[in-house]
Amino acid sequence: MMQMPFRSPTDYYCKNLIPIDEQICGLLEKRKELSNNNPGFPSLEIISVWSQKYGLNENWLRRIFASYMFCEERLQPLVEPTGFLHFVSILKSVENDNMTYAITHMKQYRNATVVYVETEINTIEPFVILGHASFELLISPEYHCRQGSGTGHGKGMQHSFIVTPALPDDVSDLEFRLRVKPLPENPEFQKVSFKEATVTIK
């Protein structure tokens, strides 16, 4: 997917805000350093307190901090893999909390590498639904990883990650770290069960 160029939403700007906005940029830099670029999200209770203390709309604050969850690296210019070369088998796996995480293989391109990750839950239960989660691949500072596609089935998930610059064919000395963050289910949705019935539609 191509990244669209950014256009300013308006030509107006109150220049009296320049010193304040510069301070905001400085605080964002400090926030990034203190959190090691992994800030998370403040509790809704804390946001509610800040909303009342500073007279700010609570939903607006929620949206602001939700946007701050994502590090700026995600906004780097997107590199689309071009010039396919070959497949490379990896087959590295680890088990953690009844979940098996595996780096199965990668596809080499001239300008990037696509790494494929499989996740499978280890259970004998026949009916399992995995919750929602975000996945982030980390290799080393010189490699930028962004999530590509993702699919899932009852007991497992598959994700691909686009890595730039391209990885070497021999990745035996590299360590792949997968950061998994469970996403809260929406409590506003109420589960409604069907009742046994025969319905006639005329």
pTM reported for the whole predicted model: 0.59
Residue type, 201: I
- The mean pLDDT value for 97-120 works out to 91
Between 97 and 83, whose confidence is greater?
Answer: 83
What average pLDDT does range 144-151 have in this prediction?
85
Token representation of residue 24? 């905001």
pLDDT bucket at 109, cuts 50 / 70 / 90: very high
Most confident region among 4-13, 91-100, 164-173, 193-202 by mean pLDDT: 164-173
Q: Position 176: which residue type?
A: F
Is the pLDDT score of 2 beyond 60?
no
Percent of the chain whose predicted confidence (pLDDT) is above 70: 82
Domain coordinates of the chain in residue numbers?
16-72, 84-182
Instruction: Give the CATH H-level superfamily of domain 84-182.
Output: Conserved domain protein. (2.60.40.1640)
**pLDDT on residue 194:** 65
User: In this predicted structure, which of 2-16, 59-73, 139-153, 185-199 has the lowest mean pLDDT?
Assistant: 185-199
- The length of the chain is 202
Three-state SS string across the chain, please?
CCCCCCCCCCCCCCHHHHHHHHHHHHHHHHHHHHCCCCCCCCCHHHHHHHHHHHCCCHHHHHHHHHHHCCCHHHHCCCCCCCCEEEEEEEEEEEEECCEEEEEEEEEEECCCEEEEEEEEECCCCCCCCCCCEEEEEECCCCCEEEEEEEEEECCEEEEEEEEECCCCCCCCCCCCEEEEEECCCCCCCCCCCCCCCCCCCC
